[in-house]
Structure 1
Amino acid sequence: MRNYLLYSLLFLVSSLFSQEIETDTIVLNFKEYLGYVKKYHPITKQAELNIDIGQANLMKARGGFDPKMEVDYDRKKFKGTEYYDLLNATFKIPTWYGIEFKGGFEQNDGDFLNPQNSVPDDGLFSAGVSIPIARGLLINDRMATLRKAKFFREQTKANRDLLVNQILYDASLAYFDWLRAYAEKEIYNDFVQNAKIRFEGVKRSALAGDKAAIDTTEAKIAFQNRTLSLEQAKVKLMKSSLALSNFLWLEGNVPIELQSNVIPDQKVEEVIDSTLEIEGSPLSSFTLENHPKLKSLAYKIEGLEVDRKLKANKLLPKIDLEYNFLTETPETARSFNTAEYKGGVSFSFPLFLRKERGALKLAKYKVQDARFELETTQLQIKNKVTAIFAELESFINQNELIENIVRDYNTLLAAEERKFSFGESSLFLINSREKSLIDAKLKEIEVQNKFFTTKAKLFNSLAVNPLSL
């Protein structure tokens, strides 16, 4: 009984001393940590950069509909003779359906001027329109480029959400590994203290003749084994801390190295669902409609469909009509005379269409391939989420079982220590009970880690992008 009271007193002093040391520790909670990752990690900034790239592509595509001014000036003068002096200025306004409005001014002069270039001395004004009546009317390169750019912009938004979700998922796993390593280190630290107290107590009892000398050897071996395990746990904690530091950055792309006094939050289970925004998400409420991966594939298909329609349109003959009113005095609308005009028609059509038909087939195959990918991805996501929900249900039961096992092993160890204080047990049995308890506690941490990891997998599979971080 005296030895038992001595052990208890030493253990209490040791616990108070440990608490005093840990008063300077800083807790990095899970939500705060993910907030730093989402705000400052370079990959999240890279994801936002993709949005800017999509917007830039859209601006570039819209540039195909910008009005255009063209000026063509050509002059030839040789041995004092002005052969010709040609000026042709044109202003063009492209529209959505391939129709192009034009306005122009032409002024030509010279001793050897081509008769068809003869115009009044003050020049000739024109205003007209160019219309494709077959190929290029309902869809053309400019129209297709703009449509695809719009779909690409929306696709980059979906890809951004996927990229941010993935980095938060990876960061979560790093945090859980850090939490696991810290918990294992704390377990070994507690049992090292217990083994040390037991070793010191047995050694004093052996010197007093109350215990056999060989008991000190066994107590010493147990203490050394616990110390060895503690050192290994410290190395594991150090490695997991460095792995966690890979996700910590500050403004200006400044990396942060996790300090030794920073510890993980021991109450992650209370906040993990709300932090990852998977709280209250039963399997029955799961839908695929807004999944970013499927949205990205859908926008990809839309873009490929535009390309297919463009290729199909190029099977049509190219027939362009052009009509321009001509006038010397453009001040009033009445000066335009429909009988004075410049117009024409152009026609072209490949005889075999092998190039166009081949391009259309390739476009169709790309659409089919993308649709197959979409259907496969839908099934994969659905089955994966269903499996994760089943896994989570299992881990809830596993956590309850391992908690009961740890509690029972604690009871066995406490009973064995009490029997030992009365001289009715041995160090071998205490060490055996303690080893079983350590294994059970480590198993409890492992199950908890797998439980958290599975929740992170659900977050990743649902492709959630938390906005509250």
Structure 2
Amino acid sequence: MIRLLAGFALALAAPLALAAPLAVAAPLALAPPTANAAELSLQQVLRSSAAHAPQILEAVARQKQADARLLSTQGLYDLVFEGDAQWRALGYYDNASAEFRATRPMTGNGGATYAGYRLSMGPFASYDGKSITNGLGEVKVGAVFALLRDRLIDDRRGRMAIAGLDTELAELEREMVAIGVQRRAIEAYQQWVAAGQRLRIYRDLLDLAAARQTSIEKQVGAGARPAMLAVENRQNIVRRQALLVRAGQDLEVQANALSLFLRDETGQPLVPKSEDLPAALPRLAMPTATHEDDAIRARADVQMLMTRLQQASARSALAQNELRPRLDLRVEGSKDFGDGGPLGYVRQPLEAIVGVRFSVPLEQRQARGKIAEAAAETDALVHRRRLLEQQLTVEIANLKAQVTGSDKLAHLVLDEAGLAARMAEAERRRFSLGASDFLLVNLREEAAADARLRQVEAEYRVSASRAELVASLVDRGQLGLE
């Protein structure tokens, strides 16, 4: 019992005698491996994801669909050409007539402008005098102006406005999808790198036991150690091999997950190799200081709600337009050319016509229902936007707290890992000198490995929290979207 207590006293005294103050430098066991020139960087993954991720390409295709729908809506203002010709094949009057007309709707008024040409041939009845033209036909131009209903907005302009806002929604949706994809790409890359670092730790732990096995077997052969010690260390090697196998499986799983974002020029997934692992986890820079309210209002999800509010306003304006009475003004001028017609009609002076048309809706239930529907939609969107802005404010505040806390924790865990590594190294020296036992040196090594694993976890939290903050504040440069 006394020998056991003395052994534990020596075990505690030796590493403490070697240990430096708490502000220790990271030992060799914690130093990251030398950076590989061919290592896979986060920027490479983000560039590949932004260019070839199917979700982003799908969002781009949907944006093109919205652009196509806008182009289709613009066709409401296309110039329309009409033609009408007839020939009386049988009957008392043998005549023929043809009329051609081109109409274009106005973009700033619910009316339209038109121009036409009319020509008649052969005898007509006296009651068909309006159909008769001079020998070279009649040219007519005119316009219809909406004075009340359709003056400020009409169905064509309303549909154009809503379709234009649909293109903005599609663009904002593409932005949201791209941000989400890039955030998941960063997370997949971080988990892959962390899995690689855990694999290195378990490999180092196994190498220590394997190197010790060679030394123990020599000492057993020389009679300096009992044979059971070699069996016990061999058991420890097998257990550490199992840990290494599980870490390798996790690394393979994370590499397969990362291949969904890392793609070749044809868009096919690329599975990264273990040789591509970088030296350390990526640590994104803190986003540039900016006013949080402005950053929140500039987010795509908030802008989408603002765009939907504009669409609701356009639908409300269309419904209010239906409540107004219709009062249209028509102005038309016509001129005949050539000799007189078959009945001797000769229209020489220029004709001008001014007319109005009036109608008023009486019950207006359909329009009132649309107005109430648009008002309810606007109210719901306002509440949703307010809640979203409040949630984003809380989310950003929490993320900043996570970044600060994870940074502090990472520094503490780094010091802990450094001290644990120094104690394990000191215990191995004592074991090689015969001043320690196998159980204690094994515990020291596993404690050092656990400290390194906690360091990896702490570094992952630092990297992940910064990435979340970068995505929330939409730092396009660090997300690889510029």
If the TM-score is normalised by the length of the shorter chain, which range does it land in? 0.7 to 0.9
Match of 1:70 among 77, 82, 85: 82
The answer to whether the Cα contact below 8 Å between 2:190 and 2:464 also exists between their aligned partners in 1 is yes
Q: Could you report, residue by residue, the CA deviation over 1:283-329 in whole angstroms, capped at 9, with x for unpaired residues?
A: 77973232222222212211221111111111112232323112114
Q: Could you report, residue by residue, the CA deviation over 1:369-414 in whole angstroms, capped at 9, with x for unpaired residues?
A: 2222211111111110111001100001110111111111112212
Aligned residues: 437
Match of 2:168 among 140, 154, 157: 154
Are the structure 2 counterparts of residues 282 and 439 from structure 1 closer, same or farther at C-alpha, using a change threshold of 3 Å? Answer: farther
1:289 aligns with 297
Matched, 1:387 2:398: yes
Q: Which runs of 5+ in 1 are unaligned?
A: 1-14
Instruction: Give secondary structure in 1 for the equivalent of 2:261.
Output: coil
The answer to whether the Cα contact below 8 Å between 1:178 and 1:264 also exists between their aligned partners in 2 is no
Matched, 1:60 2:68: no
Q: Percent identity?
A: 21
Q: Could you report, residue by residue, the CA deviation over 1:140-173 in whole angstroms, capped at 9, with x for unpaired residues?
A: 0111122223323333332222211111101001
Instruction: Give secondary structure in 1 for the equivalent of 2:298.
Output: coil
For residue 76 of structure 1, report the CA deviation from its aligned partner. Answer: 4.0
Instruction: Give secondary structure in 1 for the equivalent of 2:280.
Output: coil
Give the Cα–Cα distance (whole angstroms) in 2 for the partners of residues 349 and 280 of structure 1. Answer: 58
Q: Could you report, residue by residue, the CA deviation over 1:414-445 in whole angstroms, capped at 9, with x for unpaired residues?
A: 22212212222111111111222222211111
2:270 aligns with 256
Are the structure 2 counterparts of residues 441 and 23 from structure 1 closer, same or farther at C-alpha, using a change threshold of 3 Å? Answer: closer
Give the Cα–Cα distance (whole angstroms) in 2 for the partners of residues 67 and 23 of structure 1. Answer: 66
The answer to whether the Cα contact below 8 Å between 1:388 and 1:457 also exists between their aligned partners in 2 is yes
Q: Could you report, residue by residue, the CA deviation over 1:325-373 in whole angstroms, capped at 9, with x for unpaired residues?
A: 121149xxxx873xx3455443333321111111111112122222222
Aligned residue type for 1:56: A
Give the Cα–Cα distance (whole angstroms) in 1 for the partners of residues 402 and 209 of structure 2. Answer: 38
Report the TM-score, using the length of structure 1 for normalisation: 0.85
Give the Cα–Cα distance (whole angstroms) in 2 for the partners of residues 124 and 240 of structure 1. Answer: 79
1:410 aligns with 421
Give the Cα–Cα distance (whole angstroms) in 2 for the partners of residues 214 and 92 of structure 1. Answer: 103
Matched, 1:198 2:218: no
Aligned residue type for 1:291: R
Map 1:36-435 onto structure 2 (within 5 A): 36-78=48-90, 85-95=96-106, 96-109=108-121, 115=128, 117-122=130-135, 123-266=137-280, 268-269=282-283, 272-273=284-285, 278-281=286-289, 287-329=295-337, 337=350, 340-342=351-353, 344-435=355-446
Give the Cα–Cα distance (whole angstroms) in 1 for the partners of residues 179 and 213 of structure 2. Answer: 50
Give the Cα–Cα distance (whole angstroms) in 1 for the partners of residues 455 and 294 of structure 2. Answer: 30
Instruction: Give secondary structure in 1 for the equivalent of 2:295.
Output: coil
For residue 200 of structure 1, report the CA deviation from its aligned partner. Answer: 2.1
Moved over 6 A (4+): 22-25, 282-286
Give the Cα–Cα distance (whole angstroms) in 2 for the partners of residues 92 and 162 of structure 1. Answer: 42
The answer to whether the Cα contact below 8 Å between 2:217 and 2:230 also exists between their aligned partners in 1 is yes
Worse overlay, 390-399 or 291-300? 291-300
The answer to whether the Cα contact below 8 Å between 1:29 and 1:265 also exists between their aligned partners in 2 is no
For residue 66 of structure 1, report the CA deviation from its aligned partner. Answer: 2.5
Give the Cα–Cα distance (whole angstroms) in 1 for the partners of residues 98 and 335 of structure 2. Answer: 16
Instruction: Give secondary structure in 1 for the equivalent of 2:475.
Output: coil
The answer to whether the Cα contact below 8 Å between 2:183 and 2:471 also exists between their aligned partners in 1 is yes
Give the Cα–Cα distance (whole angstroms) in 2 for the partners of residues 208 and 279 of structure 1. Answer: 63
Aligned residue type for 1:434: E
Instruction: Give secondary structure in 1 for the equivalent of 2:277.
Output: strand
1:449 aligns with 460
Are the structure 2 counterparts of residues 133 and 24 from structure 1 closer, same or farther at C-alpha, using a change threshold of 3 Å? Answer: closer
Q: Which runs of 5+ in 2 are unaligned?
A: 1-28, 339-347
Give the Cα–Cα distance (whole angstroms) in 1 for the partners of residues 168 and 423 of structure 2. Answer: 61
Give the Cα–Cα distance (whole angstroms) in 2 for the partners of residues 145 and 300 of structure 1. Answer: 14
Report the TM-score, using the length of structure 2 for normalisation: 0.83
